A and B are shown apart, each in its own frame.
Chain A
C-alpha cells in the first residue's frame, strides 16, 4: 500500500487516488510536427528509479498532484501541486 502525502489532505492510502501517468511528458506547441505529437502521445521514459507522475485524489480533495516516486522501491520523496 502506498501512503501518499496529499498537500491538501495529508497522508492518505493509494486507494483514495487514481493514477494518471507520467508527469514529465509535455504537450508540444500547436505547430509542432506529427513526430513530436507521436512522441508526446506514445513515448515514455519509463525509468526504474525516480518517476514524476500524476495522481488524482478522487477520494479526497479531487485535485491532481505531482508525485516523485521511486519505481523500484516505491519510496515517495516529493509531492507538489501541479
Chain B
C-alpha cells in the first residue's frame, strides 16, 4: 500500500519537473508508478516589482503572459490570480472553438485563433484535447438559410472553411436530431469542419506550465484589491500579498473588468451576466459534431468521457453570482428535448454558472486605456474561450509594441464613442449578444 506521506521515489532520470511530456516519458512514468511527474508549474510568490503584471489567470491572462515571454522576450512578468488556475470561465465554458463569423475583421481574428489552436498542443507540449470535429449550425427557415449562406460566403472569401449541408446530410451526420419535429423542421445546416472543442481547463494548465517554464511567475490565491497610479501613469497593484510594482498592468479578469477598472475611475461598456453550462451522465458515443439549434438558444457536444455538454443563453440580468437560476435551466432542457427528443431520459449530472463580461456590442476589447501603462483584455461575452490563443497574442503585441496587433485593431475601447462598434448580430447597443 502506498502511504500518502512517504517521499516520492523518483527515478533520477525524471527529476526535472519541467521535463517534456512525451509518449516515452509516459511509458517511463508508468513503470515507476507515476511518482516522478512533479508539479506542472512553479508556484510563485509575488516579487516586489515586475515589468508587466497581468491580473487574472484565466485563458487570456495566461496566454498573454506566455506570448510576452516566448514571442517578445519579455519574461519579467507575473500573472496574479485570486483563486486557483482554471476555476474562472476558462474552466467553466462549453469548450467550443470556431471562426464562423460574418464581419471580415472578426473572421480574420477568430481564424487566427483557430489556426493557433491547430498548433497549440505542440507549441505548449501539453495535451489540450483539441478536437476539430466540426461545428454545425442548423437552420429552420429559408431566411435563416440565406443568412447562413451569406455568412459562409463571407468566410470563404477570406479562405476560411464553410459548407452547407443538405437536410439529408444533416440527418445522416446527426441521427439524434428530430428533423421534422415541432414547429421548426430542420432544413439543413452550416458546417465549419475545422471548428470543434478543446479540453477547457487543460488550456489554462498548458499555458501556465509553458509560461512558467519561460520565466513567468504564476501567482495563485492572490487577489488584486487596487490599482495604483502616479498622475495618469500606472505604478502597480495592491494585492492580498502586498503591493506589487509594475511598469505595465494588464487586466484580464473576464466578468470582473468593471470592478477592477473602477479602481482607476474608469467606467466600461460592459455588464456582468451569468451563463450556465450543463453536463449529462456519460453515454456511449451518440454525437460527433458540435450542434447549434437555430430555433432556440441551444448548443451541444459530447465530451470524450461521454457526457453531453450543453448550454443556452445568459440568465438575463446583471449578476456576479457564479451560479445559475432555474428558469434558464428549464429553457435549455426544453430546447434539448425539442431538438433531440431521445435526450428526454438522459440525466443531467452537473450544472454551473460563470460570470462574464457582456460588452455593449457583443465584441471583445483589447485596448490601451486612458491610464498610461494600463491595458485591457475584456468583454469576451460568451465566446472568449475560442479566442484565447489569438487574444493572448494580440494583447502581448499591444503591450510589447504599444501598437495594436494588425488583426485586433478594431477591438479598441475608443470604438464605442467613435461609433465604430462591431455589431456582429446587427442588434444595437445591448449587452445581450455574443
Which residue numbers of A lie inside 8 Å of B, CB to CB? 1-2, 13-15, 19, 21-22, 34-35, 38-39, 41-48, 51, 53, 69, 71-74
Contacts and interface: CB of A to CB of B under 8 A. Distances in A.
A73 B267 CA distance: 22
The majority secondary structure among interface residues of chain B is: mixed
A5 to B, nearest CB: 16
Contacts, number: 69
Nearest to B318: A71
Interface of B: 258-259, 267-272, 316-321, 325-327, 360, 416-417, 429-431
Contacts of B268: 43-44, 46
A42 B360 contact: yes
B319 A74 contact: yes
A64 to B, nearest CB: 15
11 contacts: A1-B325, A1-B326, A2-B317, A34-B417, A39-B267, A42-B416, A44-B267, A46-B258, A46-B270, A46-B318, A48-B320
Given A38-B416, A43-B267, A71-B321, 10 more contacts: A1-B325, A21-B430, A41-B429, A46-B270, A46-B272, A46-B318, A47-B258, A53-B318, A71-B319, A74-B321
Contact of A2 (B271, B325, B417, B429): B325
Contact of B272 (A41, A48, A74): A48
B317 A53 contact: yes
A38 B316 CA distance: 23
A44 B258 contact: yes
A33 to B, nearest CB: 11
B272 A15 contact: no
Given A45-B267, A46-B258, A72 B319 contact: yes
Contacts of B327: 1, 13-15
The majority secondary structure among interface residues of chain A is: mixed
Nearest to A45: B267
A38 B267 CA distance: 12
Most B CB within 10 A of own CB, among A13, A34, A47? A47
Nearest to B429: A41
A35 B416 CA distance: 10
A23 to B, nearest CB: 11
Most B CB within 10 A of own CB, among A35, A43, A46, A73? A46
B380 to A, nearest CB: 15
A34 B416 CA distance: 11
Contacts of B258: 44-47
Given A1-B326, A1-B327, A42 B320 contact: no
A21 B270 CA distance: 12
A22 B259 contact: no
B319 A44 contact: no
Given A1-B325, A44-B360, A72 B320 contact: yes
Most B CB within 10 A of own CB, among A13, A21, A43? A43
Nearest to B323: A74
Contacts of A42: 269, 360, 416-417, 429
Contacts of A38: 416-417
A69 B318 CA distance: 9
Contacts of A34: 417
The 9 tightest CB contacts between A and B, nearest first, are A46-B258, A42-B269, A38-B417, A48-B320, A42-B416, A19-B317, A43-B267, A72-B320, A42-B360
A1 B271 CA distance: 20
B316 to A, nearest CB: 5
Contacts of B416: 38, 41-42
Given A1-B327, A14-B327, A35-B417, A19 B429 contact: no
A21 B317 CA distance: 7
